[in-house]
A = this chain, B = another copy of it.
């Protein structure tokens, strides 16, 4: 029975700061954003405007705006007259994103340590606790999400909004990279070491914190990117072409 599915419930929107943002578009954005970075939508998945419009019970107009924004954030890919797909980062892009994170996160350490207070550090410890809980019950998605949240929350201690927004963008792209290249147990598998850095910050040791961050990010990258490219739909075509080419030569 091909019953018409009912629309997705968007619920109430919290972060409607002032009056500057449209609540409904923001809710749609968050839904799609979460679906992508939490890997509910596989990289390469087509995102037709009509389908989304019906799913969220709005017209294509709103959907288009949201897709444009996600494209700007490099989470979806929009090609002229071809519509939007969930972005498929290349290996180079993955490396660039992690290198960028090293620059940004190590660079902000000094300000983070300078402005950290016991109260703010406790908020971070709460995130780490939730991380451990998620890992304990094998909730990998939540663990990856919280791992990202930790890094962004850490950067927010610097009270530099420009930087923490930039980092938030890099972190969400990292999630997409993990979804694209990550081996099943990558990303947050080895018990999160996030506890350690909080002690270094509390001790006010800038250089040790920076060193920890550098090492930590290199390990995360190593556990993810080295798996190289998984052959999904569009690549399949290229591989078939390569096979055909090899066959032709062997004659």
Which residues does A use to contact B, with CB under 8 Å? Answer: 18-22, 65, 68-69, 72, 77-81, 93, 96-97, 99-100, 102-104, 106-108, 111, 160-163, 166, 170, 173
Contact = CB atoms under 8 A, between A and B. Distances in A.
Contacts of A170: 162
A107 B173 CA distance: 20
A160 B99 contact: yes
B22 A80 contact: yes
A79 B163 contact: no
The DSSP consensus for interface residues of chain A is helix
Given A68-B65, A68-B69, A107-B106, A163 B20 contact: no
A161 B93 contact: yes
> Which of A21, A97, A100 has the most C-beta atoms of chain B within 10 angstroms of its own C-beta?
A100
Contact of A103 (B20, B80, B97, B108): B108
Nearest to A21: B80
Contact of A80 (B19, B65, B78, B111): B19
Across the A-B interface, give the 8 residue pairs with the lowest CB-CB distance, nearest first: A103-B107, A96-B162, A100-B162, A96-B160, A107-B107, A20-B79, A100-B163, A19-B80
A106 to B, nearest CB: 7
10 contacts: A19-B81, A72-B72, A96-B161, A96-B162, A99-B160, A99-B162, A99-B163, A100-B166, A103-B104, A103-B108
